[in-house]
Structure 1
Amino acid sequence: MKKKIIASLPLLAMATTGAAFAQSSVQLYGNIDQAVTVVDGENTWSGLNSGGNKDSYFGLRGTEDLGNGLKAQFVLESGINADTGNGDSGSGLDFKRRATVGLLGNFGEVHLGRDETAAYKAMQRYDVFNHAGIGGTQSWGLGNNDDKRKDNLIGYVSPNFGGLTFAANYAFGEQSNSTWKTKAYYDAAVSYSQGPWSATFAAEQQNNSLLGGLDTRQRSYALGAGYDFGVVKMVGAYRQTNNQPQGMADYKDKTYTLGAAAPVGAAGVVKASYNRYERHNMASLDAQKADQFSLGYEHNLSKRTALYGTYSYLKNKDGGTMSLVADSGATLSDSGKQHAVQVGLRHSF
């Protein structure tokens, strides 16, 4: 249950100026997720990781009713490395997950600041492991500067038109005298969700991503679809990033994702996924490949608390160097393989 702090602004306003203001509210919300993790490759590493099932974070969200269907809104959200108490940026707590202010109305939503991209928000539902932990897809980590959040962003989200929604962002590069005039980022996503069906198409462009010392323009396209059969929900996604380094041949990074989630009883969910990564080497343009297989079980103790366990296996090919837990210190085996297990507890508030 989200905690609500209601500010009685009308009473305060009448007591001080005689003017009446609309009611405001602020919500404190978040998630704490800890997982015991064992990674086995050339050597074995074990430890406690944050975010094995869902990212750890806390946030403040506030709204003010301005009347005539118009609302003001702010969101401040900070990531947490719950195993150490630090912010997930590696220093103190900050609001790098989201820091926006905006307006909501019949026209949809407009917000300004730092936020997840529209493309990522639309596509993340096609990973049954929530893009978290050893089971989550690494599709948003293949390209350089291919992160899922952007600074200096103007965002728009449309109303729902019978299951169809549209979202778009523009992020200022705030840099002059560059190859493509600006380091700007822009994207758009069209999503459909009705009954058991869902589908999404998203497109992105990042100008002047520095790759191998060269200015590089990156264009990404993603397509996802899902169908809930009741006994099992099936999802699939494809993402491709076209890299255009200055003075070099273009090359592509690709990710294929398949997933399934099946309810077990009233409180359990079994999950399985397969990810195929194809990452090209900038110098030779040869593709490095990796296959990731994941199997997990989540048991909901309540609407806000869950126990979970995940097993993942990763096999690199053609000189690939991808890892299941990048900061674990566990190296790959001689054949480019890794196994990992996570058992954890998640609590939302």
Structure 2
Amino acid sequence: MKKKIMVTLPLLAAAATGSAFAQSSVTLFGNVDAAATVVDGHNTWSGLNSGGNKDSYFGLRGVEDLGGGLKAQFWLESGINADTGTGDSGSGVDFKRRATVGLMGNFGEVNLGRDETAAYKAMKRYDVFNHAGIGGSQAWGIGNNDDKRKDNLIGYVSPSFGGVTFSANYAFGETNQSTWKTKAYYDAAVSYDQGPWSASLAAEQQNNVDFGGANIRQRAYAVGTGYDFGSFKLLGAYRQARNTPEGQSTVKSETYTLGASAPVGAAGVVKAAYNHYQYQPVGVATKLKADQLSLGYEHNLSKRTAVYGTYAFLKNKNYDAAVGGMSLEPAALLSDSGKQQGLQVGVRHTF
């Protein structure tokens, strides 16, 4: 249940029209998730992790009714390391998860600031493990510029047209002109939701990324779909990222995701997912491959509180130190054969 602080703000109005009022609401929301974790690879590591089932964060969002169907809104959201109490950016509490202000109405929504990209928002729902913990997909983590969020962003989300929505972003690079014009980022996504069926397409481009001293342009494309059969839900997604170093040939990375979830009794959910990664770092001739299998169970103690357990197994087919970015946390614990497995048991509370 969201906690709301309701504030009523008087507005000046002409005497002929009488008194007018605009109502504002501010909502405090968040999630706290911590899990005991054991990872077995070349060595065994154990400890407490934040966000085993869902990212830990807290935030404030507010809406003001401006009349005529027009509303103003803001959204401030900060990540938390629930295991240490610090901010997840490493620099204390900030609003690096989201900091936007905008307007919404019959035309849709326009927001300005820092936010998740339209491509990531459209595709993240096709991972049954919420892109979190040792079971989550790492589709947005194996490329050379795979940020889920962008600064200096102008974003648009359309209203629904028969279940179809469109979203797009442009993020200013805020640099002088260069070979690829600027370090600007732009993307677009189309999603369809109708009854038990959903589908999404997304495309994005990041210009002129300075990666290890090399200027790289990255283009990525993704498609995902899902269907809820009632007794179980089936999800699938594919993402391809193409990295082009300036003056060099393009290298390609791909992720295939297949997941399923099924209710168990009145409060339980069983989840399973398979991810296949084909990753080619810039400057490396060999394409690195890995397979990830994840199994999990979530038991809802209430609408806001759940306990869960997740098991994950990762196999790097051609083990190389450069493939560490695809490993489960902590990355350095891969075995000599490239195998690694982990177990997480945790508690999640949403407010």
State the TM-score, normalized to the length of structure 1: 0.96
Match of 1:31 in 2: 31
Local SS of the residue matching 1:22: strand
Counterpart contact for 2:144–2:243, Cα < 8 Å: no
Match of 1:99 in 2: 99
Counterpart amino acid of residue 335 in structure 1: S
Is the deviation greater in 19-28 or in 96-105?
19-28
Where does 1:13-52 land on structure 2 (aligned, <5 Å)?
A: 20-52=20-52
Match of 1:252 in 2: 252
Give the distance between the partners of 1:324 and 1:301, measured in 2 at CA. 31
Match of 1:210 in 2: 210
Query: Aligned-pair distance for 1:10?
Result: 2.1
Counterpart contact for 2:314–2:328, Cα < 8 Å: no
Give the distance between the partners of 1:39 and 1:25, measured in 2 at CA. 44
Give the distance between the partners of 2:81 and 2:284, measured in 1 at CA. 37
Give the distance between the partners of 1:227 and 1:332, measured in 2 at CA. 35
Query: Aligned-pair distance for 1:19?
Result: 7.3
Query: Aligned-pair distance for 1:324?
Result: 4.1
Unaligned runs of 5+ in 1: none
Give the distance between the partners of 2:284 and 2:169, measured in 1 at CA. 34
Query: Aligned-pair distance for 1:9?
Result: 1.4
- Aligned: 1:344 with 2:336: no
Q: How many residues align?
A: 344
Local SS of the residue matching 2:179: coil
> Residue by residue, what CA displacement relative to the aligned partner does 1:1-30 show, whole Å, maximum 9, x if unpaired?
11111112129x79xxx9754111100000
> Residue by residue, what CA displacement relative to the aligned partner does 1:278-314 show, whole Å, maximum 9, x if unpaired?
1113224320011000000000111100000000000
> Residue by residue, what CA displacement relative to the aligned partner does 1:208-255 show, whole Å, maximum 9, x if unpaired?
112332111100000001111111110100000011101111110100
What is the root-mean-square deviation in Å for CA atoms of aligned residues? 1.5
Counterpart amino acid of residue 48 in structure 2: L
Local SS of the residue matching 2:119: helix
Give the distance between the partners of 2:153 and 2:159, measured in 1 at CA. 20
Match of 1:269 in 2: 269
Change (3 A) 1:57 1:284: closer
Counterpart contact for 1:44–1:330, Cα < 8 Å: no
Unaligned runs of 5+ in 2: none
Match of 1:5 in 2: 5
Where does 1:46-65 land on structure 2 (aligned, <5 Å)?
A: 46-65=46-65
Counterpart contact for 1:324–1:340, Cα < 8 Å: no
Query: Aligned-pair distance for 1:50?
Result: 0.4
Query: Aligned-pair distance for 1:196?
Result: 1.2
Counterpart contact for 1:211–1:245, Cα < 8 Å: no
Counterpart contact for 1:221–1:241, Cα < 8 Å: yes
Counterpart contact for 2:214–2:246, Cα < 8 Å: yes
Give the distance between the partners of 1:180 and 1:21, measured in 2 at CA. 50
Match of 2:200 in 1: 200
Match of 1:153 in 2: 153
Local SS of the residue matching 1:123: helix
Counterpart amino acid of residue 177 in structure 2: N
Is the deviation greater in 314-323 or in 333-342?
314-323
Give the distance between the partners of 2:219 and 2:59, measured in 1 at CA. 31
> Residue by residue, what CA displacement relative to the aligned partner does 1:34-56 show, whole Å, maximum 9, x if unpaired?
00000000101111100000000
Query: Aligned-pair distance for 1:84?
Result: 0.5
Where does 1:1-349 land on structure 2 (aligned, <5 Å)?
A: 1-10=1-10, 20-320=20-320, 321-322=323-324, 323-326=326-329, 328=330, 330-349=332-351
